Amino acid sequence: MTYLDHAATTPMRPEAVEAFTAALADAGNASSLHAGGRRARRTVEEARESLAEVLGARPSDVIFTGGGTESDNLAVKGLYWSRRAADPRRRRLLVSAVEHPAVLDTASWLARHQGAVLELLPVDGTGLVAPEVLRAAVGDDPSSVAMISVMWANSEVGTIQPVAELARVAHGCGIPFHTDAVQAFGQVETSFAASGADALTISAHKIGGPVGVGALLVRRGLELEPIAHGGGQERDIRSGTLNTPGVAAFAAAARAARAELPAEQARLAALRDDLVRRVLTEVPGATLNGAPSGPGRLPGNAHLTFPGCEGDSLLMLLDAHGVECSTGSACSAGIARPSHVLLAMGADEAHARGSLRFSLGHGSAARDVDALVAVIGPVVERAARAGELAGLSSRG
């Protein structure tokens, strides 16, 4: 198989597997006081320190969770509840229109059930939120805004947001700023301190760690209401027994990703550019979505639209040829609707439905691009014919 879906999940790195299996062999709950518990606690705290160093944060900033979705829920709900409890006027949630469903659906739930007022920040044709757009959205009443959330890099089209500038706008208005950095972490420089964010989401399985562990970085002094109550672990923000093997593997993957980052950025960008160039040669009508190649785009992301085709049909035809990719966020896969990201960028429904995301990661090689290019032309032709026949059938 040719795997071009690293944005959905990426294979575990050898360093992470080694750390994971070593921790599995040593029983102990990190909250227990006996020797086994203390060993587990040491493993957890060493992992916390390691992640903090990689992310330009303090160890106390790192709150371990069960993954990116939990971290996003904790950031959005926790900030909304704590900020509104302190001042009932704080009901507005300013969230970019191209967020991952983990943020959008959480904010929508708060609007339906908790009295929040959700306001979507518009983006330009590349998926970018401009600082002046955020400033205008805050308006003349910043005291009514509970929090702002804009993802560091888009999970579908790969556009990188000006996070530090957006955070400065938020702070100038006295509003906490959260960013979902799940896609950015491991592909671009990701410093919690330099970003200016008050809360930042990351996930292990996007960087070669295991599924089921993530973290929310939370600035000291920021009040978050927990979404789960219990033993008071993780600064009483996220109760529950810690996943010691997962945490150890997460830290190992992060260290490995950080060590190879500069070289890997250049390698993936070159592979990505070769993929885009050759696919556009094979399918002249195809178009690249998102920011142009360069510093404004994730190096491993290529998101393309194939006019006259349905993305789901293309995906299954490519899968039959041994090429694995996606139509967008894996967390919303199987839902028959056009990409909300492309619609927010101004695309029409037909354009949004005919898109595929090819994402590269550690382990990707030139042979993967070769395999895609070898089959993409015939696959698009077949999908386009199927679309024409479906159109004729629907017209009777």
pLDDT given at position 54: 98
User: Among 173, 309, 325, 331, which one carries the catalytic annotation?
Assistant: 331
pLDDT given at position 134: 98
Q: What are the φ/ψ torsions at residue 217 (nearest 5 degrees)? A: -85, 130
Rg (CA), the chain: 22
CA distance 100 to 331: 8
- What domains can you pick out in the chain, each with its CATH number? 2-8+261-394 (3.90.1150.10), 14-258 (3.40.640.10)
| Nearest of 223, 193, 222, 185 to residue 85 by alpha carbon | 223
CA distance 194 to 200: 12
Cα 224 to Cα 119, 130, 233: the distances in Å are 21, 27, 14
| Nearest of 186, 140, 160, 192 to residue 96 by alpha carbon | 160
CA distance 214 to 68: 6
**Residue 309 annotated to the active site:** no
pLDDT given at position 386: 81
The mean of the pLDDT values for the chain is 95
Residue range 293-352, pLDDT digits in tens: 999 999 999 999 999 999 999 999 999 999 999 997 555 555 567 899 999 999 999 999
Strands (E), the chain: 2-3, 62-65, 92-96, 117-121, 145-149, 177-180, 199-203, 214-218, 287-288, 301-305, 323-324, 355-359
CA 175 to chain centre: 22
Residue range 40-79, pLDDT digits in tens: 999 999 999 999 999 999 999 999 999 999 999 999 999 9
**pLDDT-based confidence at residue 27 (cuts at 50, 70, 90):** confident
Q: What is the pTM (predicted TM-score) of this model?
A: 0.95
pLDDT over threshold 60, residue 393: no
Q: What are the φ/ψ torsions at residue 87 (nearest 5 degrees)? A: -155, 105
pLDDT given at position 26: 87
Residue range 193-251, pLDDT digits in tens: 999 999 999 999 999 999 999 999 999 999 999 999 999 999 999 999 999 999 999 99
**pLDDT-based confidence at residue 392 (cuts at 50, 70, 90):** very low
Q: Stretch 93-110: mean pLDDT, rounded?
A: 98
Question: For a pLDDT cut of 90, what percent of the chain falls above it?
Answer: 91
